[in-house]
Amino acid sequence: AQTVTQSQPEMSVQEAETVTLSCTYDTSESDYYLFWYKQPPSRQMILVIRQEAYKQQNATENRFSVNFQKAAKSFSLKISDSQLGDAAMYFCAYRSAWSGNTPLVFGKGTRLSVIA
Amino acid sequence: GAVVSQHPSWVICKSGTSVKIECRSLDFQATTMFWYRQFPKQSLMLMATSNEGSKATYEQGVEKDKFLINHASLTLSTLTVTSAHPEDSSFYICSARVPGLAGGPGDTQYFGPGTRLTVL
């Protein structure tokens, strides 16, 4: 079974600075998807960014980018120019590409605080 | 992105009663929906996978007679907590997968806003 590990339960960053959240995963599959979801205090899960395993290019969405290292099974999220609204719980997630019924496998999350 | 709604957002009920939570995909048809439960300051725990027109697949340890899931249409799945007890109090979240070709947006799950259930 696949597992996702987020080794940083909590992180903090100064407003306008850059922070990197770590995520590693374990799988024997070669084709899969990786995601970062954000859960603010409202508890609505929001998709931040996704990465297809077959793509070597790292995904980028505005201030959010990932460092995807397939061989190392690492998928870190970098947030640039941090804003107060970035304060949230961040979950790394894995999904097999083999079946549409396969659910996401989540890490335990990293709570990010943004300091003004 | 795709929109998933959930209703109600908050419900309080007495012990022994049943509560139904609705999950709708508003702008797409979802053949597969997922139900999660989340305890405070914890990650999401998958309860079951719901497929339109067929029985739900429950995760190990989840009582299927207690948590009834019905996916009667391509845009609606319901979770009914039967004979609710205080230990069922939790935050319940549904999620729907956007269908599509492999490698496209169809491999992404979108989430409803969640339902906070409090059983007195």
pLDDT tens for B53-81 read 888 999 999 999 999 999 889 899 999 99
Residue ranges of domains in chain A: 3-115
What is the chain A residue with the closest CA to B116? Answer: A43
Whether A52 and chain B come into contact, CB under 8 Å, resolves to yes
Number of CB atoms found within 10 A of residue A28's CB: 6
| Cβ–Cβ < 8 Å for B48, B56 | yes
pLDDT number for residue B104: 54
Q: Is the pLDDT of residue B100 over 90?
A: no
Q: Among B32, B91, B97, select the one facing A43 at the smallest CB separation.
A: B91
From first to last of its 116 residues, chain A has per-residue pLDDT tens of: 889 999 999 999 999 999 999 999 999 998 899 999 999 999 999 999 999 999 989 999 999 999 999 999 999 999 999 999 999 999 999 998 877 678 899 999 999 999 99
Chain B residues touching residue A42 (CB < 8 angstroms): 113
What is the chain B residue with the closest CA to A51? Answer: B103
Cα separation, A93 vs A24, in Å, equals: 10
Chain B residues touching residue A98 (CB < 8 angstroms): none
Pairs across A and B, CB distance < 8 A: 58
Specify the 3-state DSSP secondary structure of B106: helix
Taking CA atoms, A7 is separated from A27, A33, A53, A71, A107, in Å, by 17, 20, 21, 19, 9
Query: What's at A85, amino acid-wise?
Result: G
**Are B111 and A37 in contact (CB < 8 Å)?**
yes
- Return the residue matching tokens 């935050």: B91
Q: Among A35, A97, A100, select the one facing B32 at the smallest CB separation.
A: A100
pLDDT number for residue A18: 98
Q: Among B1, B34, B46, select the one facing A47 at the smallest CB separation.
A: B1
Cα separation, B9 vs A95, in Å, equals: 27
**Are A45 and B93 in contact (CB < 8 Å)?**
yes
Band of residue B106 on the pLDDT scale cut at 50, 70, 90: low
Q: Among B43, B93, B110, select the one facing A107 at the smallest CB separation.
A: B43
pLDDT number for residue B98: 77
pLDDT number for residue A108: 96
Cα separation, B20 vs B16, in Å, equals: 13
Cα separation, A35 vs B114, in Å, equals: 20
Specify the 3-state DSSP secondary structure of A17: coil
Whether B91 and chain A come into contact, CB under 8 Å, resolves to yes
pLDDT tens-digit series, residues B11-51: 999 999 999 999 999 988 888 899 999 998 899 999 999 98
Q: Is the pLDDT of residue B86 over 90?
A: yes
pLDDT number for residue B85: 96
DSSP state of B74: T
Please name the fold of domain A3-115: Immunoglobulin-like (2.60.40)
Closest-CA distance of chain B to residue A17, Å: 25
